[in-house]
Amino acid sequence: MALIFYFSSEGSTASNSHSSPIADLFGVSAWLVRKTAHFIVYFVLGMLVFNAAKTLSKQKNNRLALISIIICIVYAASDELHQAFVPGRSAQLTDVLLDSIASIIGVIVLKYIYEKITSRRHHRPNQRRQV
């Protein structure tokens, strides 16, 4: 979250200086680079928040997933509000939506992985095969 806050605190010139070289390298627009970065960062944030919730709590996965998603959406909205006060930046509802979708997908992916690992542990035979 600190990294997101740091990048959100940068003015538009500094923000463009990060995305423009990558855009030039891949031959895409700086806008696409920024939106892809939003998606990746919030996807990872969703996974990290869910993992932290799972580590710290014994509640069921569905409840932890919902709590994690709410935390990420609230953070995405507060991040955009913060950007409204940064010179050269503005708050974008579409960024909140993109960030929210990315974090939801991140939570769902990690929840699925945890459930697959758990189901394999419970369905693993206790005896070794005789050859």
Count the helix, strand and coil residues of the chain and give each as a percent rounded to the nearest 5: 80, 0, 20
Find the distance separating the first CA and the last CA of the chain, reported in whole Å. 53
* Averaged pLDDT score across all residues of the chain: 88
Q: Give pLDDT, residue 130.
A: 56
Rounded Cα gap, residues 61 and 57, in angstroms? 10
Gyration radius from the chain CA atoms = 19
Share of the chain above pLDDT 90, in %: 50
- What is the model's pLDDT at position 131? 54
Mean pLDDT score, 18-33: 87
The model's confidence at residue 1, banded by pLDDT at 50, 70 and 90, is confident
Over residues 37-85, the pLDDT tens digits come to: 999 999 999 999 999 999 998 888 899 999 999 999 999 999 999 999 9
Query: Does the pLDDT at position 23 exceed 70?
Result: yes
Contact 98, 34 (CB under 8 A): no
Q: Which residue has the tokens 């940064």?
A: 86
**CA distances from residue 128 to 19, 103, 119, 125, 131 in whole angstroms, order as listed:** 54, 41, 19, 7, 9
